[in-house]
Every structure is written in structure tokens, then in C-alpha cells.
Chains A and B, each alone.
Chain A
């Protein structure tokens, strides 16, 4: 659920018409692409892949929540990064162990960053920032990007950003059709929270992938080290298998 009006929103001015355009672009679920995505799944489910080395606590059930990502390197700032289960192996490039969790997007304010018109709105918005020059020219661009994207999401109370993958493997990830999500947890004053995400519940080890990936020099492409061994099944079939396993509290193995 959306948490409603926040106590201390960002109030620094930008052009009022730009603000209005951004607000008009933000869709409230179930309107928009997230609505279509969720309607295409048996339930609102998301998946996050974790390296086996660090997945034990999920496998044993000791950890049942997803963590909010805080590293500056993530595409849309601080938040919980997942892919909707409709794209069941899109993020498998990040680890062999798939954690499935439920979410309730009712009332979420969604910024669809897959649309070029919306990307342009964000770019126009950062141009209007008082320290735009310094933030653009700093060598610490990851920190600046994280700061600006967090601020943009706070300023417009964005619960969820949809975006295309910007890391990929040709067998697992489609740059043109897959959608990834960054979901915001809020503090009571409208800042972005960190720690356990309250947006996702019932996080459960559900997928074990028979593949290892190796990042290239800039971690843009992640090459498979084992497969492909078998032909890839459709997303719909894989999703159905994963949902069945999740509901039965089992896991499903996916061949390389």
C-alpha cells in the first residue's frame, strides 16, 4: 500500500509546468505498465537472485525479508531491486539462488522509466537543480546519480520505478522487453528508508539455477560460464513452475 501524504516533502522549486508534467507521468497502480505486468502474473510476485555464497540464510529460512540496496552503483538509487516474476530469469545474472517474495502494489505511484518521454522528464528535472553543474561534473558520478535519483523519487513521492536492464546476458536478459523494479520504502518524514524492505513479504528461496556468470570489465555484460546446455523454456512456463514451487514452499531447478 502507498503510505499516503508524507510529512516533509521536497519543496525546492523547479519549473511548475515540468513538475506538473512529472506528476502527470506518474501512474497510480493499477494504471500503467506495472498494472499490465501484475495482471499477467498469477499474483504480485517478484524475484531477486542472490549469489549462492550469501544465500544460506534464505535457504534455511532464517531471513524472510528482502534488504534495501544502498550501494551507489544501482541504477535508480536506494531501494529494493527486483524483477517481476513475469521475467523470471532476467536478473539471474546476479546469482544462482532465486528468492521470491510477494508485494502489494495497491496505490503505488509508479514512474515508468522505460518510456523515453519519462526519461526526458527526469533529465529536464536534473537540469533545474541548483547544484546541477557540480553534480554533473564531479568525478564521483555514482554518488551524484544516486543522490539525484533518490531526490527525484522523494520530490515526487515515487513508490516504484520501472526500468530496462542495463546489465545483461543474451540468454537470460532481454534489454528491450524485460522490466526491472526499484521499490521505495519511506520513513515517516518522506526520506528513503534502508534496512529490511516492508514492501515485500514472504521472501522464500524458490529457484536454484545451474549456471555461473562472470562480469566483463565494466560489469555491463555477464557471460555464462557453463551453459547454455538446454534450450530455454518460455518465461510463462518458467514463471508457472516457480509459482507452483513458491506456493508449495519447495524450489525449482533451472538448467543452464
Chain B
């Protein structure tokens, strides 16, 4: 089935703007008529998405994956977490990383999961309800040999933290809070770097960030 996605790569590239805005609009119209003519196509695409593995990242251009994830979101689903880890790790483009995190935090199950979690748990990194974010954060801080948690881990934590703050929805702000509250070797440095961002802001904004991040 995944071969269908590869065959569609050029179509999805043009749909997602690879050949300009006018072409993208035209492909949206073409897609609408194709979906109307083949009622099973959307379900097939959802099924294909559920089978994606990290090795499948090259099947589509990055902007194509961004469109595809948006399409899946309209059906309240997304590709598996390990695929999304590979998609996230495979680019340094900040917007595509932000979009990937949006994909992971805006489905009804993500928001409902956070709301249920807040009623039952004291927030912590170990129990954070969004599995992709939980695994990502745990990977960064989990090294128990403190002397091995060096600048690279803090850098990764800092990068992820600011992406979470930038996405700025309920789920990502909750994740940012638990990452900042977690006790690990890089905790002090991470908090110091966040303070560097917050300190120059005006008093009201500073207070809002401190409250939003539970600092």
C-alpha cells in the first residue's frame, strides 16, 4: 500500500505548494474531485499512514508530509510515533519541526488526554500523557550517569523546550513545564537559559511566562 504514497509523491508535492500557489490551488480542486469519485481513498490513505515506519520518510518531500499530516488530522489520526521521530530528526528546518509538534498535540485525543491526566496526576515527565513528547523528553534527560549529560543534552532540551513554547498550546506548554521542573543534571543550566529569555521582557510578560511555565 505504501507504494501508492510514493506514486502520489509528485501530486502531493504540487498540492503542498511545490510548484507555486496557483498550481497548489488547482491540485486542491483535483483532489476534491478525486476524493468525491473514490470514497474509499481517504480511508486507504489513513491505513497507509498507520503503516509508516522511519524508513518511509523519503517517500514524500518534507512539505508533502506536512500536508499529509494535516490531511490525517482532519480524520483525527496521524502516523505512528517512531515515524514522526524520524521525520522530526530528519530536518533542521524550524518550521517543519514546529509543524510536527503541532501534529502531535492538536488531535482531540491529545487534548482530552491532557485534561484527564491533570485530574489524576501531579504532572511529571515520567507520566506525561502525550507519548511522543514523553519519550522525547525522557530520552534527553534519562542518562543517569550525570557526568555523561553534557552540553549536548542541555542543547537538545533547550531546542525542544523553545519549540514547545513556540507551539504554545495547552499540551506543549504543559510539556515545557514538566521538562523545566524535572530534576536532572542539566536542570539548572536549562532553567538559567530560559531565564535569559524571560529576564529582558517587560514585567507583565515576564510574569505571564513565569506563570505559564510554573517557574
Contacts and interface: CB of A to CB of B under 8 A. Distances in A.
A190 to B, nearest CB: 7
Which applies to chain A's interface (DSSP): helix, strand, loop or mixed? Answer: loop
Looking at chain A, what size class is its interface with the partner chain?
Answer: 35 or more
Contacts of A194: 67, 70-71, 73-74
Interface in B188-209: 197, 201-202, 204-205, 208-209
A10 B168 contact: yes
B127 interface: no
Given A70-B24, A70-B67, A140-B95, A58 B29 contact: yes
A190 B201 CA distance: 28
Looking at chain B, what size class is its interface with the partner chain?
Answer: 35 or more
Max count, chain B CB within 10 A of own CB: residue among A71, A94, A129: A71
Nearest to A67: B28
B166 A130 contact: yes
B162 A63 contact: no
A201 interface: no
Given A12-B166, A138-B95, A189-B107, A50 B25 contact: yes
A12 B36 contact: no
B170 A72 contact: no
B99 to A, nearest CB: 7
Contact of A8 (B29, B169, B197, B209): B169
A161 interface: no
A128 interface: yes
Interface in A68-87: 68-74, 78
Interface of B: 15-17, 20-22, 24-26, 28-33, 36, 63, 67, 70-71, 73-74, 93-96, 98-99, 102, 106-108, 110-111, 162-163, 165-171, 173, 197, 201-202, 204-205, 208-209, 211-212
Q: What are the 7 closest A-B residue pairs judged by CB atoms, nearest first?
A: A12-B168, A71-B17, A13-B208, A71-B24, A54-B26, A67-B28, A143-B95
Given A63-B29, A131-B166, 8 more contacts: A12-B165, A14-B205, A58-B29, A67-B31, A71-B17, A71-B21, A135-B94, A144-B95
